[in-house]
Amino acid sequence: MSPEINLPAGIRSRFVPEINGLDVHVLEAGFEAPGRPLILLLHGFPELAYSWRKVMLPLAAAGYHVVAPDQRGYGRTTGWDNRYDGDLSSFRLLNLVRDAVGLVAALGGKSVDTLVGHDFGSPVAAWCALVRPDIFRSVALMSAPFAGPPPLPPLPSRRFVDRVHDDLAALPRPRKHYQWYYSTREADANMHRCPQGVHDFLRAYYHHKSADWKENRPFMLTAWSAAELAKLPTYYVMDLAKGMAETVAPEMPSAAATAACKWLPDDELRVYSTEYERTGFQGGLQWYRCGTTGAFNAELEMFAGRKIDVPSCFISGKSDWGPYQRPGDPEKTLRNACSQFRGFHLVEGAGHWVQQEQPGETVRLLLDFAKNQR
Domains identified in the chain and CATH numbers: 12-153+299-371 (3.40.50.1820), 156-285 (no CATH)
For residue 75, give the nearest of 118, 123, 26 by alpha carbon.
Answer: 26
| pTM exceeding the 0.95 threshold for the entire prediction | yes
Q: 306 and 336 in contact (C-beta within 8 Å)?
A: no
Q: How confident is the model at residue 161 (pLDDT cuts 50, 70, 90)?
A: confident
Q: How many residues does the chain have?
A: 374
Q: For residue 117, give the H/E element and its range.
A: strand 114-118
* Spatial distance between the Cα atoms of 336 and 146, rounded to a whole number of angstroms: 9
For residue 87, give the nearest of 301, 302, 289 by alpha carbon.
Answer: 289
Number of Cβ atoms within 10 Å of the Cβ of 359:
19
In this prediction, what percent of the chain has a pLDDT beyond 70? 97
Give me the phi and psi of 177, to 5 degrees please. Answer: -85, 135
DSSP 8-state secondary structure symbol assigned to residue 88: G
Beta-bridge partner residues of 26: 14, 69
For residue 271, give the nearest of 36, 16, 27, 18 by alpha carbon.
Answer: 27
Q: How confident is the model at residue 4 (pLDDT cuts 50, 70, 90)?
A: confident
In tens, the pLDDT along 323-357 reads 999 999 999 999 999 999 999 999 999 999 999 99
DSSP 8-state secondary structure symbol assigned to residue 262: S
Beta-bridge partner residues of 115: 40, 139
Mean pLDDT of 68-76: 98
Q: What amino acid occupies position 124?
A: V
In this prediction, what percent of the chain has a pLDDT beyond 90? 93
The pLDDT value given to residue 153:
84
Average pLDDT, the chain: 96
Q: Is the pLDDT of residue 157 over 70?
A: no
SS3 content of the chain, % helix, strand, coil (to 5): 40, 15, 45
Give me the phi and psi of 308, to 5 degrees please. Answer: -75, 120
CA angle 34, 37, 42 (to 5 degrees): 115
The pLDDT value given to residue 362:
98
Q: Is the pLDDT of residue 160 over 70?
A: no
In tens, the pLDDT along 257-314 reads 999 999 999 999 999 999 999 999 999 999 999 999 999 999 999 999 999 999 999 9
